[in-house]
Structure 1
Amino acid sequence: MSATLALRALRGATTASANTAEAISEAVAELIGALIERNQLDGNHVLSVTFSCTADLDACFPAAVARRQAGWDAVALLDCQQMAVAGDLTHCIRLLAHAWMERERPVIHPYLREAAQLRPDRSGHN
């Protein structure tokens, strides 16, 4: 890697409109698209992405959707269940990604749809 690159951690979240493979796939694709676009990521710079879902989402694996992303052949992908907390946002998909990015570039964490309420400080980037 170039000396101008640094390993960065990126967060993000969204919500699915329903517990269906189609709704989850749509939400994950939108979240990944926002992550890539807002941070100007190239697929070969993304090392890993961990997805967590609330227990009410079990119709498909978010990582399976991410595997279809062009240039993500070597990205390590993992799904897990989000810790259950009373009153938490439902139908929520969160991600933690690690990527090589230009050291000077600010990291933008996309919080989309209903998940914007999880991080109101990021709402200007939705």
Structure 2
Amino acid sequence: MEEQTVGWRVRAIRGATTATENSVPAIREAVLELLGEIERRNALDFSEVISVTFSVTRDLDQIFPAAIARECPHWRNVPLLDVQQMHVEGGLPRCIRCLIYFNTPNPDQPIYHAYLRHAQSLRPDLAMHSDYHPLELSSHSLG
């Protein structure tokens, strides 16, 4: 028998941002900005998205990021999960991270990760540089 290979591959997009405060409007603004930036920079076909995991630091407890994502029609049928990030003393406060898994027939498809607001300090090599100036933190975990 001749072996057939499937060209599809599972890939992932990482993103992180921070909320200005622990409130529904602030968390909503941060989540929608993060998802919007990821969508803008990547050629996502939502029928190929497998799932999204959101994690938040323990100081954000007013709303689930997945509930905010579900407000957008194209995210409604995607499995979404919220988890609390492990607490690390000195870690970046009010941080929201996401990990989007998707299938792609093009394993070489470029992926653009989004690190916004104060989360730019987590991964300066992947940060979306803008006029937003991250906090000067002396010690924090890398994302």
TM-score normalised by the chain length of structure 1:
0.90
Who is 2:54 aligned against?
51
Q: Which among 117, 121, 141 is matched to residue 117 of structure 1?
A: 121
CA change 1:108–1:23 in 2 (3 A) is same
Alpha-carbon displacement from aligned partner over 1:18-73 (angstroms, at most 9, x marks no partner): 10000000100011111111112122221100100001000100000111222223
C-alpha distance after superposition, 1:60-114 (max 9, x if no partner): 0000011122222321100010000010000000011101233221111100000
Gaps in structure 2 of 5+ consecutive residues: 1-5, 131-143
- Tell me whether 1:72 sits opposite 2:53 in the alignment: no
Give matches, 1:1-126, under 5 Å.
5-101=8-104, 102-124=106-128
Question: Larger % of strand: which?
Answer: 1
Give the number of the structure whose residues are more often helix, by fraction.
1
Checking the alignment, whether the CA contact within 8 Å between 1:44 and 1:72 is kept in structure 2 is no
Partners of 1:6 and 1:39 in 2: CA distance: 16
Paired residue type of 1:89: L
Query: Rg larger in 1 or in 2?
Result: 2
Distance across 2 between alignment mates of 1:69 and 1:4: 30
Q: CA RMSD for the aligned pairs?
A: 1.6
Q: How many residues align?
A: 124
Ranges in structure 1 where 5+ consecutive residues have no aligned partner: none
Please give the TM-score of this superposition, normalised by the length of structure 2. 0.80
Q: 1:32 to 1:124 in 2, by over 3 A?
A: closer
Q: Is the 8 A contact 1:47 1:74 kept in 2?
A: no
Secondary structure of the 2:120 match is helix
CA distance, structure 2, for counterparts of residue 120 and residue 16 of structure 1: 18
How many percent of aligned residue pairs carry the same amino acid? 51
**124 and 93 in structure 1: CA distance in 2 versus 1, 3 angstrom threshold:** closer
Change (3 A) 1:125 1:4: farther
Q: How many Å apart are 1:5 and its aligned residue?
A: 4.1
In 2, Cα distance between equivalents of 1:10 and 1:125:
17
